[in-house]
């Protein structure tokens, strides 16, 4: 199997890597995280100018018409810099839902504004009781003369604090946990009856809870088919899980590199701690853990780009291994750096926090293990 990247893909990867190296130092990242928006509008416009926001979209809308490989290459490099700008939320999730399920008008009017950086979006799917189950939806969508009336609450909406547009899941028919009967609706952030509560997560990103009190939307706000939103959500989140795994691979590589460098300079008993055989063995273990996740990431990407039937199985397996191996990598990085590995002044702890968040986004290891078992052995 050929794992070589095309010339365009190499250029894309190198472009993102240079940006992170030149413009996204740890101190800069901390300043952005402490700002009111927890992201840089200037950086976001730079992403647009460099063409990064156009990667997965169709050429007819001004996009690059890229695939999962292009997104993985980008996310891996963004992970190395702990980049806070909402690429996953706006381009992969919000943009992915529009690309796969949006009608012609939605695609032609909104996707170009994503590409030029003028519109940020968010996908509001999680609810207090749902945990990781996409189908557990209590938010209601009732028909009205104007279209639909939405009532309910969504929690931990990634980029919900800065989004100008939301795609919201709501139950239009069926019982609370039914996969059928879920519909998706496009909703502006300034919609009447929508209340947004912003708060920070431990990895520095701003998220939001949404309360919808009889929010009226037109029939044209429907994204995809009525009552058929679950399959659309599942497809896009499968892609988002691969993108998150790529970000995690970049973080794990950085943690291993920084830990190895530190072991060569930190001295104990008059010698560098990297000369201790016990620590050498531990760092080999973390390197192997990183390589295992990277290999399974490539396996999942190949399954998705070839559209094989076992793509979902590969992604669930990837998330299970990521949950296990990332904990080993960041745990050993903190241990070998000693007490300062836990401080906010050192980037090691922030890499660890981001990995923890990735591991619980769209399901933890136990959740994906159960899904893997159900698909593999059914």
Q: What is the pLDDT of residue 4?
A: 84
Whether residue 252 sits in one domain with residue 209: no
User: Which of 102, 119, 136 is a domain's end point?
Assistant: 119
Q: Does residue 341 sit within a domain? A: yes
Closest to 244 in 3D by CA, of 75, 56, 70, 52: 75
Say whether pLDDT at 18 is over 60. yes
Residue with the two structure tokens 């993985």: 72
2 in any annotated domain = no
Eight-state DSSP code of residue 90? I
**Same-domain status, 356 and 254:** yes
**Whether residue 108 is found in the same domain as residue 150:** no
Minimum mean pLDDT range among 129-138, 206-215, 369-378? 369-378
Task: Report residue 62 CA to chain centroid gap.
Answer: 23
181 and 106 fall within a common domain = no
Residue 55 belongs to a domain with what CATH number?
Answer: 1.10.540.10
Choose one of 227, 260, 292: the last residue of a domain. Answer: 227
117-139 pLDDT per residue, tens: 999 999 999 999 999 999 999 99
Instruction: Answer yes or no: do 153 and 254 share one domain.
Output: no
- Any idea what the CATH number is for the domain that residue 236 is in? 1.20.140.10
Single residue among 72, 96, 119 that ends a domain in this structure? 119
Residue 57, C-beta contacts closer than 8 angstroms, at least 6 positions apart? 63, 64, 65, 95, 99, 111, 114, 115
Answer whether residue 35 is part of any domain.
Answer: yes
2 pLDDT exceeds 70?
no
Residue 56 lies in a domain: yes
Angle made by CA atoms 136, 308, 315, in degrees to the nearest 5: 45
Of 230, 231, 312, 243, the residue nearest 56 (C-alpha):
243
Looking at the structure, tell me whether residues 246 and 212 fall in a common domain. no
Percentage above 90 pLDDT, the chain: 93
What pLDDT was estimated at residue 268? 87
Least confident of 65-69, 127-131, 271-275: 271-275
Indicate if 306 and 237 belong to the same structural domain: yes
Q: What is the pTM of this model?
A: 0.97
Terminal CA-CA length for the chain: 29
Q: Give a yes or no: residue 323 inside a domain.
A: yes
At 308 the pLDDT is 65
Sequential DSSP letters for 24-64: --HHHHHHHHHSSSSS-HHHHHHHHHTTGGGTTS-GGGT--
Q: For residues 123 and 241, what is the distance between their CA atoms, to the nearest angstrom?
A: 14
Q: Is residue 176 domain-shared with residue 300, that is, in the same domain?
A: no
pLDDT for 378 equals: 75
* pLDDT tens for each residue of 143-175: 999 999 999 999 999 999 999 999 999 999 999
Q: 304 and 361 share a domain?
A: yes
Q: How many domains does the chain have?
A: 3
**CATH code of the domain containing 217:** 2.40.110.10
The answer to the question of residue 1 being in a domain is no
Structural domain contains residue 211: yes
327-328-333-334 Cα dihedral, nearest 10 degrees: 60
- For residues 280 and 128, the answer to whether their CB atoms sit within 8 Å is no
Query: In this predicted structure, what is the pLDDT of residue 191?
Result: 97
Torsions phi, psi of 126, nearest 5? Answer: -80, 145
| 212 within some domain | yes
Domain range for residue 21? 7-119
Model pLDDT, residue 133: 97
Query: Structure tokens of 155?
Result: 């929690």
State whether residue 158 is helix, strand or coil.
Answer: strand
Do residues 204 and 112 both lie within one domain? no
Co-location of 267 and 332 in the same domain: yes
Same domain (yes/no): 248, 357: yes
pLDDT at 231: 97
Length of the chain in residues, anyone?
378
The mean of the pLDDT values for the chain is: 96
């Amino acid at each position: 199997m050929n794992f070589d990247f095309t010339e365009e893909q190499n250029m894309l990867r190198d472009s993102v890597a240079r940006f992170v190296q030149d413009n996204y130092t740890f101190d800069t990242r901390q300043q952005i995280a402490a700002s009111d928006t927890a992201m840089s509008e200037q950086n976001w416009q730079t992403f647009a100018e460099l063409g990064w926001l156009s990667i997965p979209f169709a050429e007819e809308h001004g996009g690059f018409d890229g695939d999962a490989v292009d997104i993985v290459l980008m996310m891996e490099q963004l992970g190395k810099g702990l980049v806070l700008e909402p690429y996953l939320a706006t381009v992969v999730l919000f943009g992915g839902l529009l690309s796969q399920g949006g009608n012609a008008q939605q695609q032609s009017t909104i996707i170009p504004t994503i590409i030029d950086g003028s519109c940020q979006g968010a996908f509001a799917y999680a609810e207090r009781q749902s945990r990781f189950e996409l189908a557990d939806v209590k938010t209601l969508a009732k028909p009205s003369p104007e279209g639909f009336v939405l009532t309910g609450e969504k929690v931990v909406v990634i980029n919900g604090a800065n989004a100008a547009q939301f795609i919201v899941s709501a139950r239009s028919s069926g019982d609370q946990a039914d996969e059928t009967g879920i519909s998706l609706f496009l909703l502006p952030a300034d919609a009447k009856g929508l209340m947004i509560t912003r708060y920070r997560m431990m990895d520095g990103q701003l998220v939001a809870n949404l309360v919808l009190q009889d929010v009226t939307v037109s029939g044209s706000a429907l994204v995809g088919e009525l009552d058929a939103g679950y399959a659309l959500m599942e497809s896009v989140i499968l892609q988002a899980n691969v993108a998150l795994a790529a970000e995690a691979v970049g973080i794990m590589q950085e943690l291993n590199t920084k830990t190895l460098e530190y072991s060569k300079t930190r001295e104990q008993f008059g010698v560098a701690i990297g000369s201790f055989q016990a620590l050498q063995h531990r760092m080999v273990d973390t390197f192997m853990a990183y390589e295992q996740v990277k290999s399974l990431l490539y396996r999942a990407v190949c399954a998705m780009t070839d559209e094989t039937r076992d793509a979902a199985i590969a992604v669930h397996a990837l998330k299970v291994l990521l949950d296990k191996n990332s904990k080993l990598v960041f745990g050993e990085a903190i241990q070998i750096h000693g007490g300062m590995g836990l401080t906010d002044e050192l980037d090691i702890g922030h890499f660890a926090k981001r990995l923890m968040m990735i591991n619980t986004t769209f399901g933890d290891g136990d959740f994906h293990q159960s899904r893997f078992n159900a698909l593999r052995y059914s």
